[in-house]
Chain A
Amino acid sequence: MKAIHTMLVLALVAALCTLTACSHAMRMIHGTGARRPAASEFGLGPRASAAGWYVATLEPAAPLRPRKMLTMRLVVRDAAGRAIDEAAIAIDGGMPEHGHGLPTRPRVARSLGDGLYEIEGVRFNMGGWWEFRLAITGARGVDTVTFNLAV
């Protein structure tokens, strides 16, 4: 009985030690405690905005690679698939696991019509999970869409 007790205590200590080391390691990898979304949540879209007013798709001019200045096209439509032109689009983003934002200030350089916009000045300065957030203000109002990108 005593032996089992000792074993139990030992196992508990081992488990605790591993847990703390583990939670520490988790913090290192997930700086802000952010959880990486499921693989199905990653991608360039089409992706619906939070309130479902818009559907956005990203079309990068070249594959997403770290440390390169990138240009991408953005397609914005409404839920019925109609092109949304003349929307004001604010761009934001960052790495939730590291707690930092985008290293540059990208913006929509021009609206090409038919729901197409050209975004310039995007740079992902590290490989990993990036959130790329758009606040789209169209005739209906503002709604946000968040892309999870694997760079």
Chain B
Amino acid sequence: MAHRTSAAIALLAATLGAAHATPDASTRAGWTRAQLAQLRAMAITELDPLPPDPTNRVADDPRAAELGRRLFFDTRLSANGRVACSTCHQPERAFQDGIALAVGVGTTARRTMPLAGMARAPFLFWDGRKDSLWAQALGPLESPVEHGGTRPQYARVIADHYRDDYEALFGPLPDLTLWDAITYVFVNIGKVIAAYERQIEFGASRFDRYVAALTTGAPGEGVLTDAEAAGLRLFIGRANCSQCHDGPLLTNHEFHNTGVRPRPELPLDHGRLTGASAAVSDEFNCRSRWSDARDRCAELDFLVTGAHTLDRAYKVPSLRNVAERAPYMHAGQLATLSDVLDHYNRAPAAVAGHSELRPLRLRPVELRQLEAFLRTLSGPVLVGGRTPPGPTQ
């Protein structure tokens, strides 16, 4: 009897122990049907066609994209003649700059965001205070620490250097002594730059090749190492990352408080709480007189504002190419990927609002597997389907 009991207990212990250890086991095969479906939904090939932007009537005009490309690299659009969008959004660095706080005419309070795929985001900036790419582009131009110039100055740059291309798209330049006319030209600068940015997309990564191999029935053998595949299993499983980093861009395009500490030297930043309200009152939002579709503003119509859950919530960044763009988070607070994973593992309380994270209590080997997986998300950044041409091309 005693022997039977002990045998049963031993068997029980062995079974429980095995269940405990599975996440580290070899993961070549062994994806469930539901997991495969989830992996497929994260592949870059699952991206829907780029949605139109009816608020910008030149959004998909190739002439606008070409003019926008030239303006994106033009330092004459700045107070000191030295800052262009490309100063911070550098094409050779996947359209970001690799530093914690961006530097233009002065220093900003946030980290430069990469641009690929962001024509698909309903809201722009870490706090989502802009509701279209064209409205977004007008922000840095007038920010005293970014381009630092003025609307009349920018309208003059168009009149002096881009008149023909501008007029081919928008008709004769208006009388630039009137403020409304100046603003109209300024808005059109935003609209052509947006047309250019709409072409910036992510290409396929090793992760995508792994999913492609799995879905064609091939075992995905050799595309990811065992450690990388184990990291992927954690990512969609126990580590809960895909709760927010989901879909082909590995973002749900939402705003969440994840308890990232603010920089002590900067004033306390409330993230989406102020960003959502700012989007509603923005001079250039979807409902504004400058929009080409003022009656089609579902994102604003159904927006949540003023909720406690928005306090220190930030935009969920795409994790594509994430290994190539340290430091991390909205103000570059975390220096490396392993710092980021340590943050998720500990899930510190938020200084304002409530963090939605809970401690993961992953073991060091599991954290390394997650990091290895994140590194498989790197791939090319394409402009109009090609690697980006430089400023002189």
| Interchain CB contact under 8 A, A104 and B253 | no
Chain B contacts for A29, CB-based, 8 A:
240
Report the interface size for chain B: residues with CB under 8 A from the other chain: 34
**For A4, what are the chain B residues with a Cβ–Cβ distance below 8 Å?**
2-3, 5-6
B252: contacting residue among A11, A15, A27, A126, CB under 8 A: A126
Distance between Cα atoms of A33 and B41 in the complex (Å): 27
Q: Is the CB of B16 within 8 A of A104?
A: no
Chain A residues 19 to 37 lying within 8 A of chain B, measured CB to CB, are 21, 24-25, 27-29, 31
- A8 at interface (Cβ–Cβ under 8 A)? yes
Contact: A104 with B10, CB < 8 Å?
A: no
Give the complex CA separation of A121 and B299 in angstroms.
8
Cross-chain contact A18 with B9 (CB below 8 angstroms) = no
Give the complex CA separation of A137 and B239 in angstroms: 42
Contact with A along B242-265 (1 / 0, CB 8 A): 011011000011100000000000
Q: Is B50 an interface residue (CB 8 A)?
A: no
Nearest B residue (CB) for A4: B6
Is A28's CB under 8 angstroms from B299's CB? no
The 8 A CB mask of A121-134 against B (1 = contact, 0 = none) is 10101110000000
- A28 touches which of B238, B254, B309 (Cβ 8 Å): B238
Which candidate, A46-54, A95-103, A139-147, is the interface stretch facing chain B?
A95-103
The answer to whether A28 and B358 touch across the interface, beta carbons within 8 angstroms, is yes
Task: Chain A residues near B12: list those with CB within 8 A.
Answer: 11, 15
Nearest 10 A/B pairs, CB to CB: A121-B302, A104-B302, A11-B9, A14-B13, A18-B16, A11-B13, A125-B252, A125-B254, A7-B6, A4-B6
Name 15 A/B residue pairs within 8 A (Cβ), A-sorted: A1-B2, A4-B6, A7-B10, A8-B9, A11-B12, A14-B17, A18-B19, A27-B358, A66-B247, A66-B252, A69-B299, A100-B356, A104-B302, A105-B304, A120-B302
